[in-house]
Amino acid sequence: MNKMKLALVSSVIVVIVALSLFPASANAQKKLYISGTQSLTGAYAEDSAAVLQAFEDYAKYVNETKNMAPWRKEKFPADITLEVLWRDDELKPAKALTIYEELKAKGILVYRCSGSPIALALKDRLNEDKMGATSMATGPYLLKPPGTIMSYYPIYTDSVAAVADWFLAEWKEKRKPRVAYLTADNAMGKSIEIPEMEAYLKGLGYEFLGSQYVPLVPTAPPTTQLMWLKQNRVDLALGVMINPGSQPTVKEMVRLGMGPYQPYKLTLGVATPGHIAVFAPAMGELGDGYVCAGSFPNWDDPAPGVKFQIANQKKYHPQKFASHIQYMGGTLEAMIQTEALRLAMQKVPFEKLKPADVLNYGFHQIKNLPTGDISSSPLNYGPSKIEGVDAVRVDQLRKGKIVKVGVWPTRHLY
């Protein structure tokens, strides 16, 4: 009897697996898919959850109104609905490969790579299939050589270059400002350590001193690294950190009397992953002087894009507001993917649409896409232009409030 039960359970499992392996076509219901992989269980789980929520809200908005955004006149085809198709990749490249093949078989024409491990694993495949994609990841590896994965905020080198530009504009002393890297001890953090970046800093007139590393999520305050900066009389520390790294670093800086408003003058400037909108409420005035480049506007920003997203959230899930700043990244990705599909359908009928059409007639034709000021500049893409923005927004925390200190052009350092 036990064996019969075992056989029955095994058969059910086999049938479920077999059924799940059969592809289902999107064409039968005149439906187009957006999204792709999410990393809801990896290190970026919170970011990815916000991105997914934004995708779902944007798809609902387009399906209901057929508008692309409140500030745009273009309409999405009335007879086609958008559906968000996603799978969790756990930020593991091996899973990303099979997920990609599955979603491709389901008829997805645009794709999303959740993070840099996924983008690196899929870059070659997406290129081969001429599948246009968006990604939360942005680094020099996406641009060397340019593939089909589009970025919607500046690469980290361009972000820290903007901080360097801003800092130099503010510099009053006659001597050369002294700069060093204080960055996360992982692939993301070290991606700014390229010769082009160092050459750019030296070209601006900085004295470059070297690198110090902070664990992605420090288990102890980075006292040694900060003391090294102090001993070398560094004025500006540049890096790529996430908030679990930047917050304890700044707390320790303050304890050691280091910071723009402290006895020892040191400014810490980081790229997007150190989102200032996450940093500000957590740190308050303690974090004064913290600089973040390439970030999205804060939730209290009067930008039309921010208002649009707040309205969407109030409409579709009033009981739960997704306050994570990466929600804005998700909205941008959904906008880019939907715009690519819309543009491609102007050239190729829905029934004949292939990923290559969406790439060539969609993604590559996106010019000056207005995002309601969610991104640092309107977005532009082309076969060799995958860094969508042309400018970097720089924000600083002053008296516990986020202050936009300016916008600098991207320097294309990779």
Partner 1 sequence: MAIFRTRGDWGILLAFLVFLSVCPLFLSDRILTIMTMIGIAIVSVHGLNILTGYCGQISIGHVGFMAVGAYVSAILTAKLGWSFWTALPCAALAAGIAGLIFGLPSLKIKGFYLIMATIAAHFIIIWLILQLYHVTGGPDGMPVPKPKIGGFVLKSKASYFYLVMVFTCLSTLLANNIARTRAGRAFVAVRDNDLAAEVMGISLWSYKLQAFFIGCVYAGVAGVLLVHYYAFASVDQFPFMDSVWYLGMLIVGGMGSTSGAIMGAISLKLLDELVTIVGPILSAVVAAQAAASLALITRGLVIILFLIFEPRGLAHRWGMIKTYFRLWPFSHEE
Tokens 């960055």 -> residue: 183
Q: How far is the CB of 59 from partner 1 (least distance, A)?
A: 14
| Nearer CB in complex with partner 1: 90/235 | 90
Q: How far is the CB of 372 from partner 1 (least distance, A)?
A: 25
State the Cα angle at 132 between 126 and 138, rounded to 5°: 85
Q: Are 267 and 291 in contact (CB under 8 A)?
A: yes
| Nearer CB in complex with partner 1: 156/166 | 156
Q: How far is the CB of 87 from partner 1 (least distance, A)?
A: 5
Q: How far is the CB of 375 from partner 1 (least distance, A)?
A: 24
Q: How far is the CB of 144 from partner 1 (least distance, A)?
A: 8
| Nearer CB in complex with partner 1: 95/404 | 95
At how many degrees (to 10) do helices 276-283 and 243-255 cross?
A: 40
Half-sphere exposure in the Cβ direction for 146 (13 Å, CA): 14
Q: In terms of residues, how long is the chain?
A: 414
DSSP string of 282-341?
A: HHGGGGTT-EEESPPPPTT---HHHHHHHHHHHHH-TT-----THHHHHHHHHHHHHHHH
Q: How far is the CB of 198 from partner 1 (least distance, A)?
A: 13
| Nearer CB in complex with partner 1: 3/172 | 3
| Nearer CB in complex with partner 1: 94/310 | 94
C-alpha–C-alpha distance, residues 154 and 161, integer Å: 10
| Nearer CB in complex with partner 1: 141/171 | 141
Q: How far is the CB of 211 from partner 1 (least distance, A)?
A: 12
Three-state DSSP at 239 gives strand
Q: How far is the CB of 338 from partner 1 (least distance, A)?
A: 19
Query: Nearest CA to 259 among 277, 275, 246?
Result: 246
Which residues form the interface with partner 1 (CB under 8 A)?
Answer: 3, 13, 16-17, 20-21, 23, 38, 40-41, 45, 49, 52-53, 85-88, 90, 92-95, 97-99, 101-102, 104-105, 116-117, 120-121, 123-124, 128, 139-141, 144, 186-191, 193-194
Tokens 């899929």 -> residue: 122
Q: How far is the CB of 49 from partner 1 (least distance, A)?
A: 5
| Nearer CB in complex with partner 1: 240/253 | 240
Three-state SS string across 87-150, please?
Answer: EECCCCHHHHHHHHHHHHHHCCCEEEECCHHHHHHHHHHHHHHCCEEEECCCCHHHHCCECCEE
| Nearer CB in complex with partner 1: 140/305 | 140
| Strand-pair category, 401-409 with 391-398 | antiparallel
Query: Nearest CA to 235 among 274, 284, 177, 322?
Result: 177
C-alpha–C-alpha distance, residues 234 and 228, integer Å: 9
| Nearer CB in complex with partner 1: 115/259 | 115
How many Cβ atoms are within 10 Å of 8's Cβ, its own excluded? 10
